[in-house]
Amino acid sequence: MTSACSVKQIIKRDGTVVPYDRDRITTAIFNAATSVGGSDRETAEYLAKCVEKSLNEIYIDGSTPSVEDIQDVVEEILINKDHATTARAFIIYRHERARQREARAVHVEASDNIPYKKIYEVLRWNMDHRCETVEGINRIIANGNYPQLVHDCNERYYAEVARGAEQIIERLPAVRMVIIAGPSSSGKTTTMIKMSEKLKEAGINKLVGINIDHYFFDLEMHPKDEFGDYDYETPEALDLPLINQHLEQLLNGETIKTPHYDFKTGTRELNVHELRLEDDQILLIDSLHGLYDAMTSSIPRENKFRLYIETLGQVQNMDGVFMRWADNRLMRRMIRDSWHRNLKPLQTLTHWHYVRRSELKYIIPFIGNVDYLVNSALPYELPILKNRLFKNFPEGMALYRDDPKRQDAYIRAKRVFEFLDPMTEMADDSAIPDNALLREFIGGSTYKY
């Protein structure tokens, strides 16, 4: 318990990154303890070390948790170490601080280096459409207005994509490559398709896509996580030198042959798919790690347009707690993995710890370099996701509550369960068009993925 903490920095609520300091955790625990009659700082220091030990198990390789993530771990440690009274004081204090922030201004949940302005725009849109709370969405369903909410959410997303296409056009002919990047299950593939449609509507028909997934190394060469599972989430699982070589050749007018990766066998074959980019064509890249500098370092900045997509949801539960963006995407992926990769939802839940870890290390630090942001959160999706997934979260809580190596899965399952519990679920998805972004995850899309 005396080893150095793997967490070096934390992300504050305003999106800024500051150095990690265990003493701040000690002080927070001590303050909660003294509010209920405690006076032993040594115990607070011991509990802070327990929190740090848990952080070492959850966040590895330089990952950067948020303040809220760390507070979640503090709560779990206090409860698991039989300090229920202090835990209750800490939870009350945390809730009161949230209420104070709301009293000072409209509360906007900001994290992961996303500008406040963008998040505030999302919150205002939700408020205007009365879908900023679980209660509001329940009321929309009860009043029979769910189809209208589906329509309005989809139109907002389409309009954002259209504005992104306009910015690309303004930068032609310098832009030769459009990179659509974002974390897992943010909707990159659908956004690339929609972006292509908008560009074609503007008369830009010469678009060429390249599948970065074909550049994965053979599975046996992939990094593994602490459980021995192969890690597809890190950019180091991709042949970055070959990607850069091929991108540079394409922009120089040369013909290349990309590899082909077989996910069933975990092997790739080199020199399979022939590809060439003409002088008047634009290359489209849909990649989890499109913002990672090492992926496109061979291409000059002025030749790239970087679009970032994230589920910037601003929906609160009855206690004023916002649905976390990563939890929203987790649910999307739990559904998609079940039919696309034949994985059980709880397998996706236990895998998510290094999905998120990779995001924090390889995606979030580079958001400041993007040219445009798209919000893919759809408030109408939450009742649909609840209907298809809700039963898995109590099971996950029971399975992982006492497993020290699966505390991240337990905390996440508990958090999602508590958020979705009061929400009205929707089994009928007939109001969702077959070309909607959500279809990328729940199935039934006219697009080929």
| Residue appearing with tokens 């369903």 | 141
- The H or E element that residue 268 is part of is strand 267-276
Query: 127 Cβ partners below 8 Å, 6+ apart?
Result: none
Distances in whole angstroms, Cα of residue 29 to Cα of each of 87, 134, 385: 8, 31, 35
Per-residue pLDDT of the chain (449 residues; tens, 9 = 90+): 556 788 888 887 766 778 888 988 998 898 888 888 888 889 999 999 999 998 888 887 667 888 888 988 998 999 998 898 888 888 887 777 666 655 544 445 556 778 888 999 999 999 999 999 999 999 999 999 999 999 999 999 999 999 999 999 999 999 999 999 999 999 999 999 999 999 999 899 889 999 999 999 998 887 666 666 667 778 888 999 999 999 999 999 999 999 999 988 889 999 999 999 998 899 999 998 999 989 999 999 999 999 999 999 999 998 888 999 999 999 999 999 988 777 899 999 998 987 888 888 888 888 888 999 999 999 999 999 999 999 999 999 999 988 878 888 999 999 999 999 999 999 999 999 999 999 999 999 999 87
Locus of tokens 């948790």: 65
User: pTM above the 0.85 mark?
Assistant: no
To which residue do tokens 């972006």 refer?
A: 195
How long a stretch of residues is the chain? 449
Give the pLDDT of residue 105: 45
β pairing state of 255-262 and 267-276 = antiparallel
CA pair distance 76, 131, nearest whole angstrom: 31
Enumerate the β-bridge partners of residue 285: 179, 210
- What tokens were used for 226? 């602490």
Q: Where are the beta strands (DSSP E) in 288-399?
A: 304-310, 372-375
Q: What is the pLDDT of residue 111?
A: 64
Long-range contacts of 73-80 (CB under 8 A, 24+ apart): 73/407, 73/411, 74/25, 74/28, 74/29, 76/407, 76/410, 76/411, 77/47, 77/50, 77/51, 78/29, 78/32, 78/47
Q: Which residue, chain included where needed, has tokens 């990179």?
A: 179
Dmax (CA) for the chain in angstroms is 73
Q: How far apart are CA 448 and CA 436, in angstroms?
A: 13
What's the confidence (pLDDT) of residue 106?
A: 46
299 within 8 A of 408, measured Cβ to Cβ: no
Residues paired with residue 307 on neighbouring β-strands, in sequence order? 180, 372
Q: Which of 408, 273, 261 is nearest to 330 (CA)?
A: 408
The pLDDT score that the predictor gives to residue 173 is 92
In the prediction, which pLDDT does 27 show? 85
What phi, psi does 447 have (nearest 5°)?
Answer: -80, 150
